[in-house]
């Protein structure tokens, strides 16, 4: 990350955790600075090294490095989770839909896949073309496959409760109101998931499979960049507790998104303000509904999301759309 981002993060976490504020002991000697503590934590995350590997460079002991890492990860989550690890708001959805349409997939919100972290974690993530991770779900045993992780994931919770921004788009003259994610063949045939076609027959289906698989590389690229930036999630997890691993993974994802935003040079607080306005506008809109009516609507929305028929319809529309688009480009 750039120095300006490092300094900004240090300033923010000092507001929520006094551990990163330099103090003096009883003799008046200065203690460790916030820069030392934060640097030690970042080096452990970025290089995936044991805590005692930073003692000579940072001049702190192993136990202090572990403490710095734990305080750092919890401070990052407490400070930035509400901004950098949240569902897309209305403005984000509009931008994602525009990007998806430009790439040949109207209604696409991103790509979906799982990544294993050797120990017992199986992160499930949704990413967009710019490698921003919109959704992350983990703490599942590594023995679970992508389907069972998706079943336990809260990815579509807001959609089933009618609290997600509406995604209006048209494919092949058919109107849709639910966005979808690109995924590989193991995922179920839902209305919100567009999979590739295994052994496609005919030029139209082959075209869909080729373009879908190319666009779906977004999530693989995001995992690759995340692991390159934070080697700790690519090497076997060491003897931390479940809670420590939870905060480590979430911190790496949040910092990953912060670096992407910093490289895009988005004006400060632009996303957080927009997100706050969207979230507060949706609060309370469901409170006055009858519980029985709300539950019935919840089940109906759940059936719509998991509809195999709707999945086939949108995939067929995409086949025709991409074919006609290819003809226009030619």
Place of tokens 């290819």: 326
Q: Is residue 268 part of a domain?
A: no
In which element (H, E) is residue 181 found?
strand 180-183
Q: What share of the chain is helix, strand, coil (3-state, %, to 5)?
A: 55, 10, 35
Q: 36 and 120: one domain?
A: no
Place of tokens 């976490």: 13
Q: Is residue 284 part of a domain?
A: no
Q: 295 and 162: one domain?
A: yes
- Tokens standing for residue 317: 């529309």
CA–CA gap between residue 113 and residue 184 (Å, rounded): 8
Please return the burial class of 320, using the count of CB atoms within 10 Å of its CB with bins 0-12, 13-18 and 19+.
Answer: middle
Q: 75 and 8: one domain?
A: yes
Q: 101 and 236: one domain?
A: yes
CA–CA gap between residue 214 and residue 208 (Å, rounded): 10
Question: How many residues does the structure list for the chain?
Answer: 330
CA–CA gap between residue 122 and residue 144 (Å, rounded): 8
Q: 61 and 101: one domain?
A: no
Q: Is residue 257 part of a domain?
A: no
Q: 117 and 197: one domain?
A: yes
As beta bridge partners, residue 126 has 112, 135
Give long-range contacts, CB 8 A cutoff, 24+ apart: 154-159: 155/112, 155/124, 155/126, 156/192, 156/305, 158/87, 159/192, 159/301, 159/305
* pTM for this entry: 0.84
Q: 98 and 178: one domain?
A: yes
Q: Give the structural domain span for 77.
A: 3-84
Per-residue model confidence as pLDDT tens for the chain (330 residues): 899 999 999 999 999 999 999 988 788 888 889 999 999 999 999 998 888 888 888 888 899 999 999 999 999 999 999 999 888 999 999 999 999 999 999 999 999 988 777 654 556 788 888 889 998 887 666 667 788 888 888 889 889 988 889 899 999 999 999 999 999 988 999 999 999 898 889 999 999 999 999 999 999 899 899 999 999 988 877 766 888 888 999 999 999 999 999 987 555 555 444 443 434 444 344 445 678 888 888 899 999 999 999 999 999 999 999 999 886 554
Q: Is residue 280 part of a domain?
A: no
């Amino acid at each position: 990350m750039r120095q300006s981002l490092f300094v900004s993060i240090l300033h923010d976490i000092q507001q929520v955790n006094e551990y990163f504020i330099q103090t003096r002991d009883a003799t008046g000697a200065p203690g460790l600075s916030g820069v030392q503590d934060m640097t030690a934590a970042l080096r452990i995350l970025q290089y995936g090294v044991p805590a005692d590997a930073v003692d000579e460079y940072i001049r702190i002991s192993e136990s202090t490095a572990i403490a710095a890492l734990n305080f750092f990860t919890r401070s990052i989550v407490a400070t930035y989770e509400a901004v950098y690890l949240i569902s897309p708001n209305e403005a984000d959805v509009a931008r994602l839909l525009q990007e998806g349409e430009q790439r040949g997939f109207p209604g696409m919100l991103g790509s979906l896949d799982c990544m294993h972290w050797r120990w017992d974690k199986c992160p499930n993530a949704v990413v967009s073309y710019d490698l921003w991770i919109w959704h992350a779900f983990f703490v599942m045993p590594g023995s679970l496959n992508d389907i069972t992780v998706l079943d336990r994931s809260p990815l579509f919770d807001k959609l089933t409760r009618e609290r997600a921004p509406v995604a209006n788009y048209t494919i092949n003259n058919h109107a849709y109101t639910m966005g979808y994610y690109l995924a590989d063949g193991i995922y179920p045939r839902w209305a919100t998931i567009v999979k590739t076609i295994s052994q496609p027959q005919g030029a139209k289906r082959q075209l869909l499979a080729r373009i879908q698989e190319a666009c779906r590389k977004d999530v693989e690229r995001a995992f690759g960049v995340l692991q390159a930036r934070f080697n700790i999630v690519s090497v076997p997890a060491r003897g931390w507790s479940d809670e420590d691993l939870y905060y480590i993974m979430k911190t790496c994802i949040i910092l990953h998104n912060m670096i992407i935003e910093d490289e895009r040079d988005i004006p400060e607080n632009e996303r957080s303000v927009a997100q706050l306005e969207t979230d507060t506008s949706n609060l309370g809109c469901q409170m006055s509904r009858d519980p029985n009516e709300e539950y019935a609507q919840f089940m109906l929305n759940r059936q719509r999301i998991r509809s195999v028929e709707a999945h086939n319809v949108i995939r067929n529309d995409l086949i025709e759309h991409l074919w006609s688009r290819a003809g226009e480009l030619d």
